[in-house]
């Protein structure tokens, strides 16, 4: 059985038990009022100036006993912008043929934060108009890259999101939830249902578990890596394994905290329109370093 092969990689995970309604400011919830320090205001997206939505507040002291102190202490808060406001994220440049080969060109993407990357693409992937401009043309083809705030919020360390762990001590500021284009009722996490969880095939292989092609697509294996909302366990990757790196130590942030997946029985209406899966991860060394990102199907 596939389950026996993966027995050493079994982890416990928990499905949230949800009730509609509001509670205390430090409760685990989605939407609604949350804990802010004295003098703080509701987070606003710096790109479109719209208020961000509370996607999740997780009280780390109210998790299952076996997770005590694994993620640290305090409140994990995630706010994301959901605006369709368009922002420029960089530029797309097609250069002259690479190394004299007319079937390949260099593609340079330069982002506004001064990060740039260079890739090579086949001219067969270009439009007819683009291809005609390449041979012997010293002038690059320049195109602006445009994204929306909500798409930017789905990327780790984006300015269109706020994710943090705070210690709810001292004077609290009772901040009212601002008017937003999309509003969702407050839902409280009042308990946890324990489940078994196993990694996806690619992640299992990174731990030395080699599975046959038949096992990888078997219904048994697919059901072992739980989809939907869950705490801890293993990520159910919508695409490829893609842990971000910690800004401090540059190690993989592979301490998996929470998964959000919108579906018919969703608890957290995020990511958008059931198009993907959201992940919250943490650096195991620097516990205040947490990241949120999405993968789309």
- Over its C-alpha atoms, the chain yields an Rg (Å, rounded) of 22
Q: Predicted confidence band at 99 (pLDDT cuts at 50, 70, 90)? A: very low
Of the two residues 262 and 51, the one the predictor is more confident about is: 51
> Alpha helices of the chain — where are they, by DSSP H?
2-5, 128-133, 149-152, 201-206, 213-216, 219-224
| Cα–Cα dist 208/205, whole Å | 5
SS3 16: strand
User: What is the per-residue pLDDT for 263?
Assistant: 63
Instruction: Tell me how far apart the alpha carbons of residues 156 and 292 are, in angstroms, rounded to a whole number.
Output: 5
Distance, CA of 90 to chain centre: 21
Q: What's the average model confidence in pLDDT over 105-121?
A: 51
Strands of the chain (E only): list them. 11-20, 29-30, 53-59, 75-80, 86-98, 101-111, 116-122, 141-148, 161-166, 187-197, 230-232, 255-261, 276-282, 290-296
3-class secondary-structure state, position 64: coil
Q: What is the mean pLDDT of the chain?
A: 83
Q: Which stretch of 67-76, 77-86, 106-115 has the lowest confidence by average pLDDT?
A: 106-115
Sort 113 into a burial class: Cβ within 10 Å, 0-12 / 13-18 / 19+.
exposed
Answer whether 87's CB lies under 8 Å from 152's CB: yes
pTM for the model stands at 0.82
Domains and CATH numbers, the chain: 2-82+169-296 (2.30.320.10), 86-151 (no CATH)
101 pLDDT band, cuts 50/70/90, is very low
């Amino acid at each position: 059985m596939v389950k026996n092969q993966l027995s050493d990689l079994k982890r416990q995970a928990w499905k949230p038990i949800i009730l509609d309604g509001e509670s205390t400011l430090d409760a685990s919830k989605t939407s609604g009022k949350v804990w802010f320090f004295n003098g703080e205001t509701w987070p606003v997206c710096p790109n479109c100036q719209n208020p961000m939505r509370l996607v999740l507040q997780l009280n780390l002291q109210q998790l299952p006993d076996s997770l005590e102190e694994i993620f640290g202490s305090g409140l994990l808060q995630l706010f994301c912008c959901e605006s369709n406001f368009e922002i420029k994220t960089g530029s797309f440049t097609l250069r002259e043929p690479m190394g004299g080969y007319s079937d390949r060109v260099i593609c340079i993407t330069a982002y506004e934060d001064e990060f740039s990357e260079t890739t090579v693409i086949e001219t067969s992937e270009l439009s007819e108009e683009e291809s005609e401009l390449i041979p012997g043309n010293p002038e690059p083809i320049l195109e602006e890259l445009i994204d929306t705030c909500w798409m930017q919020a789905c990327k780790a360390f984006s300015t269109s999101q706020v994710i943090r762990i705070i210690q709810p001590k001292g004077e609290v500021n009772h901040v009212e939830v601002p008017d937003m284009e999309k509003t969702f009722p407050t839902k409280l996490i009042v308990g946890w249902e324990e489940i078994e969880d196993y990694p996806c095939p690619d992640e299992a292989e990174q731990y030395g578990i080699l599975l046959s092609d038949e096992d990888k697509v078997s219904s048994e294996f697919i059901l072992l890596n739980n989809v939907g909302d869950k705490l801890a366990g293993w990520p159910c990757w919508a695409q490829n394994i893609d842990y971000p790196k910690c800004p401090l130590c540059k190690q993989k942030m592979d301490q998996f905290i929470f998964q959000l997946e919108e579906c018919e029985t969703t608890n957290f209406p995020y990511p958008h329109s059931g198009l993907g899966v959201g992940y919250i991860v943490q650096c195991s060394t620097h516990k205040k370093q947490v990241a949120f990102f999405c993968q789309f199907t």
